[in-house]
Structures are given as C-alpha cells and as structure tokens.
Amino acid sequence: MSISASTDAAVAAANIESRRRWQISYRRRRYLLVAPPMLVMIAFVVFGIFADVIAPGDPGQTHLLSRLEAPVFSGGTSEFPLGTDHVGRDIWTRVVHGARVSLIVVAIVVPGAALFGTVIGMFAGWRGGIVGQLLMRYVDVQLALPAILFAVLLGAVLGASLRNVILILLVWTWTVYARLIRAEVLSLKEREFVLASLAAGGSNWWIMRKQLLPNVFNTIVVIMTLEIPIVIVAEASLSFLGVGAPVEQATWGRMITEARNYLTHAWWVMWMPGLALMLVALSGNLVGDWLRDLLDPRLRNLG
Amino acid sequence: MQFANLLVIRLIQTILVIWVVVSIVFVISRLIGNPETSLMPWDATNEDYERIREKLGLNDPMIVQYGRFLGDALQGDLGFSYHRTGPALDIVADKVLGTVKLTAAGLVVALGLGVPLGVFAALRRGSPLDWLARLVAVFGQATPSFWLGLMLIFFLATRVSWFPTAGAEGFRSLVLPAIALGLLSAAGFMRLTRSGMIDVMNTDFIRTARAKGLNERTVILRHGLRHALIPVMTILGIELGRLIAGSVIIEVVFSWPGIGRLMIESILQSDYPTVQAGLVVIAASITLGNLIVDMTYRVIDPRIRMAAL
C-alpha cells in the first residue's frame, strides 16, 4: 500500500519533471525558430532605413540596352544582381527602395491604429451609451465600405501619394481593434471578477486599467501582429491596382503589377518583389506568433 | 429585450449605415471630383462643359444635388451610368452573381480549411500536425491574395494548363480565384480557432466537463469549440467584408466578371453613378452579413446580454 503510493508519487514527480524539461526545450526551440524571421524583420528595417546606402543607385534609372536581364544566379551579370525589368531598371535597387516605402507605412499605421482602436473599443464596450453606439455604427460603416474601393476612389480623385495611402490605411485599420476589444469587454464586464470590483466600489478608470486592459492586452498584441503583414499587403495591393504611392516611387506592388506581362519569359521580374513581400509578411507573422506565446499569461504559468 | 425587437433596431441601424455610406461616396465623388471632365473629348469648349454640367445638374448647389440624389436613391434610382448604357443599378445588378459566386467560394475555402485545422492544431499542440497547420496558416496569412493569385496562375495555368489563366467559364475557372481569395481568411480563422481552443481547454469548466465524465469528443465540440468560436464569430463579419473587398483585387487579377472589377473600371473612368450603385450594393451585403453574425454570437455567448447592443 505504502509502496504503491510512493511509486505513484515518484511516477508523478518524474512525469512533472520530464514535462517541465520538455517545456523548457520547447521554449528554447521557439527561440531558435524565431531567430531567422527576426533577422529578416531586422534586415527589413535596416534596408528600409539605409536604402540609400545599401543600394545607392537611382531606383528609377533605366538601362534600355539591358532590358529583362537575368539575375546573377541565373546566368546574368553582377552589374544587376537580381536582373532588370522591362525598361532595364535594376531590380535589386528597386526592391531595397520598396522596403523603405513598406516600412514607413507600417511604422505609422500599426501603432496608430492600435492605440486609437483600443481606446474606442474599450470605451464602447464598457460605457456603451449613445456615444458608444454611434461609434460602433461608425465602425460598421467603415467595415461596410471596403477600404480598397474607398482608397481607389480617393486615390483616383485626389491623385496618388504616400501620405494619402497612410491616411487611408490608418483610418481604416483601427476599426478591427475597436470591434474585437469591444466584444471582449462586453463579455468581460459580465464576469464575476469585474462585477466584484464594481460591487467593491472600484472606479471605472481603475477597472479599465487594472482588469480590462490586462485581459485584452493579449488580443491587442495578436491583432497588431496580424495587422503588420495585412498593412504591408494592403499597401502593396493599392500599388498593384495603380492607386498607391506615386509612379516614380519604387514599391513592391507596382513592380509586381508591371511584371505581369513578362510572367512566362522573365519570371524574376515578378518573383523578386513578390518574394520580398512574402518573406517580410511571413516573418512578421512568425515573430508575432512567438511574441503571442511569450505574452500569454496562461502559457507562462505552464512554463 | 426581445430578440425580434433587437433585430428590428439593428435593421434600422443597417439602413442608417447604408445612408452614411451613400453620403460619404457622394461627398468624395461630387465635392472632390469633377465628373464632367472625364466625359468630354479633349477639344471640348467651355460652352460644351457648361451644357453637360447643366444637363447633369452639376451646377445646382451641392445640397440640392444631394437632396435629389437621396430622393432618387429612395426610389431605387441611382442614376444612369456616364459611360455605359442603362441605369447604374442594373449594370451593377448584372455583376452581382459573379461576385456572390466568388465570395461564397472564398468563404467555403476559408471556413472549411481554417476551423478544422485550428482545432486539430490546438488539440495536438506541438505535434507535426500543429506545425504543418501553422505553416499553412502562416503562409496563407503572409501571402497577399493578388500575389497568391499570380503564383497560382504562374504554376497551374502557365507552367501546366490545369486551370484557365482568366475568365469565368465553368467550375474550373472558379478554383484558382477561390483559393487566392479564401486562403488569407482561412489563416485568420485557423489562428483564432487555435488560440481560442488553447485558451478554453485550460479553463475550469472544461476540467469540470471532463470530471463529470463526458467523453472527449463532447468536451471538445460542445464545450470547447463552442466557446472558441466566439472570437471566430466576431471576426466572421469582418472577414466576410474582407472577402467581398478582396474579391475586387482577385477579380482584377483573374479578369473575373464581378462588381469589383466593374467598380475599379468605373472609378478610373469617373463613372460615379456606377460607383455609387456598386458601393450601395456592397455596403448593404456586408452590413447584413455583420447583422447576422452579431445575432449569432449572441446566441452562442449568453453572457452578452440582449440589452447590451
């Protein structure tokens, strides 16, 4: 009896021990796995900031005698490491300068939208009232009007500019935060711990700060990471449709759209900006995933 | 509050939403844009411009134009297209089916792939299946739909001719656009389902459900998934909007005949009546979708009281 009990205890202890060890190795594995995408994101930021140093040439410079030249690893010359496009522009230079445009857009749009959306969402969920109602109807309106159509309409009417693109994306992406945060707060405010705080005389501000915000923080981070690739892709999509940044600016979206006619006989013209776009968006996702696991409090308790 | 009352209120709100959308489009297109310049040949004289402005009623004060526009809109008259023949609404209506087909196919891809993958990934966390699902999800999330479309065309329509590169003839021409459209949303559903399932499977009520001897299948489907689907339901309305919005770019990539491609063309031609009609139709379908989603997650999560609109 006592022997079997102690064996059970020993087995349980061993289980816990092996589980803990497995979890530590899982964490360590995550660090290793997140390193490459982290490096890509750092490279993206560095390329964006130091575009002029890394690729000093003019991204708009044409070389009419060297049109559609293959990249260096596919039989081309080192003069154009990633080849040239249909008017002989250096694809390497254009891809690097395209990173700058994407970086500027993300750096302004994602934090700005998160801040604004969270404030509105928490207010609408907690206080509601007529103002909260109106705000949420406004969110509905924004969601009802596809951003891309609105952006194309505005772009066609106003003319293409980077400032307009940033403004449109900022105004349009905050609604996602507002809607999800509000939904979470609506559910949270019916929970016992919030009711208890209210009963104990907790002020609105205190409850929002100490109980609601920590509970929705995870959601904010997850949405922000989801939004980084979405914003990059949205900017590229607008450029692809021809209403993003102005023509003289090298953007990945515009490069892809211009390359469409050369799909069959000069694959690199489309693939270079496309791969850059995909790599950065992919890495943003992986880094965000890792960050989510790191910040999730319940997951932290497990580890 | 009664469910029916709530529904009526939300329907009225939906109409208000559409009114605001129409007004926003009116402001952008009429206040900032000049529809007449796109209508006239390059050698048109000032008198010609004056005539066309008079004919289209563009010389009246804005408020009069707006009043006339709203009055007509109430009667289902959204004006005649500047560039095509016939009422703008009819022109848009011709294209509705194309967009509905594409969006529905995209939604089938998104939910059919996203939710099951998310559940499996959460239950077998850290397993090869989890990694595979997350790989698919991460790629889906990371790949812009137009880029995905172009890659699909590159590999499956030009390298091997399994599917047509463009157009809308038969089921085969729907496959590539539906995947290109739906994969992004599938990835979103998968992530939300997975993180929701992981969160919910750690909660006390799941422990209780297991403790009272329910079989694992019931625990997962009735207790776990039902709860994990709340964030999915919340985002479903947004995703539906995204799918409809995303269909615009997919229609351009695949030359698919739908509202999106019509509107992009109309916007670039400053054909504002067609743009307005298109936006009204799209806005109406998305807000109705949101309404249905909102009502559904009230049924799923009773903690959201009926009174809390």
pLDDT tens sequence across B95-112: 989 999 999 999 999 998
Give mean pLDDT, residues A264-273.
86
Given a cut of 50, is residue B306 above it in pLDDT? Answer: no
Which residues pair with residue B87 across a beta bridge? Answer: B80
| pLDDT given for residue A218 in this prediction | 78
Chain B residues closer than 8 Å to A237 by CB: 144-146, 249
| pLDDT given for residue B120 in this prediction | 87
Residue A104 tokens, joined: 């500027």
φ, ψ for residue B51 (rounded to 5)? Answer: -60, -45
Taking all residues of chain B, what is their mean pLDDT, rounded to a whole number? 81
Chain B residues closer than 8 Å to A281 by CB: 141-144
Task: Write out A13-63 in H/E/C secondary structure.
Answer: HHHHHHHHHHHHHHHHHHHHHHHHHHHHHHHHHHHHHCHHHHCCCCCCCCC
Q: Nearest C-alpha of chain B: how many angstroms from A285? A: 6
pLDDT band at residue A97 under the 50/70/90 scheme: very high
Give mean pLDDT, residues A121-127.
89
Whether chain A has a CB inside 8 Å of the CB on B25: the answer is: yes
Given a cut of 60, is residue B79 above it in pLDDT? Answer: yes
pLDDT, tens digit, 9 for 90 and up, residues B37-67: 666 666 777 788 788 777 777 777 888 888 8
Chain B residues closer than 8 Å to A226 by CB: 141, 188, 191
* Across A21-30, A46-55, B6-15, least confident range: A21-30
Whether chain B has a CB inside 8 Å of the CB on A293: the answer is: no
Whether chain A has a CB inside 8 Å of the CB on B21: the answer is: yes
Tell me if B106 sits within 8 A of B185, measured CB to CB. Answer: yes
The amino acid at residue B111 is L
Chain A residues closer than 8 Å to B17 by CB: 137, 140-141, 144
Chain A residues closer than 8 Å to B286 by CB: 143-144, 146
Instruction: State the complex-level ipTM.
Output: 0.71
| pLDDT given for residue A299 in this prediction | 33
pLDDT band at residue A94 under the 50/70/90 scheme: very high
Identity of the residue in B264, B270, B303 whose CB atom sits nearest the CB atom of A241: B264
Give mean pLDDT, residues A233-256.
84
Identity of the residue in B145, B191, B283 whose CB atom sits nearest the CB atom of A144: B283
Give mean pLDDT, residues B164-170.
78
| pLDDT given for residue A88 in this prediction | 83
Distances (CA, A) of A231 to A136, A163, B140, B265: 22, 14, 15, 24
pLDDT band at residue A76 under the 50/70/90 scheme: confident
- CA dist A192 and A195 (Å) reads 5
In the stretch 70-109 of chain A, residues with CB closer than 8 A to chain B read none
φ, ψ for residue A90 (rounded to 5)? Answer: -70, 120
CB atoms within 10 A of CB B170: 9
| pLDDT given for residue B301 in this prediction | 65
Please report the DSSP string for chain A in residue order.
-HHHHHHHHHHHHHHHHHHHHHHHHHHHHHHHHHHHHHHHHHHHHHHHHTHHHHS-S-TT---TTSTTPPPGGGT--TTSTT-B-TT--BHHHHHHHHHHHHHHHHHHHHHHHHHHHHHHHHHHHHT-HHHHHHHHHHHHHHHHS-HHHHHHHHHHHH---HHHHHHHHHHHHHHHHHHHHHHHHHHHTTSHHHHHHHHTT--HHHHIIIIIHHHHHHHHHHHHHHHHHHHHHHHHHHHHHT-SS-TTS--HHHHHHHHGGGTTT-HHHHHHHHHHHHHHHHHHHHHHHHHHHHH-HHHHHH-
Chain B residues closer than 8 Å to A137 by CB: 13, 16-17, 20
Burial grade of A105 (CB within 10 A; 0-12, 13-18, 19 or more) = buried
In the stretch 209-248 of chain A, residues with CB closer than 8 A to chain B read 222, 226, 229, 233, 236-237, 240-241
In the stretch 159-178 of chain B, residues with CB closer than 8 A to chain A read none
| pLDDT given for residue A8 in this prediction | 67
* Across A255-269, B43-57, B213-227, least confident range: B43-57
φ, ψ for residue A84 (rounded to 5)? Answer: -130, 165
| pLDDT given for residue B176 in this prediction | 92
| pLDDT given for residue A102 in this prediction | 92
Give mean pLDDT, residues B168-189.
87
Highest mean pLDDT among A29-38, A87-96, B135-144: A87-96
- CA dist A297 and B96 (Å) reads 46
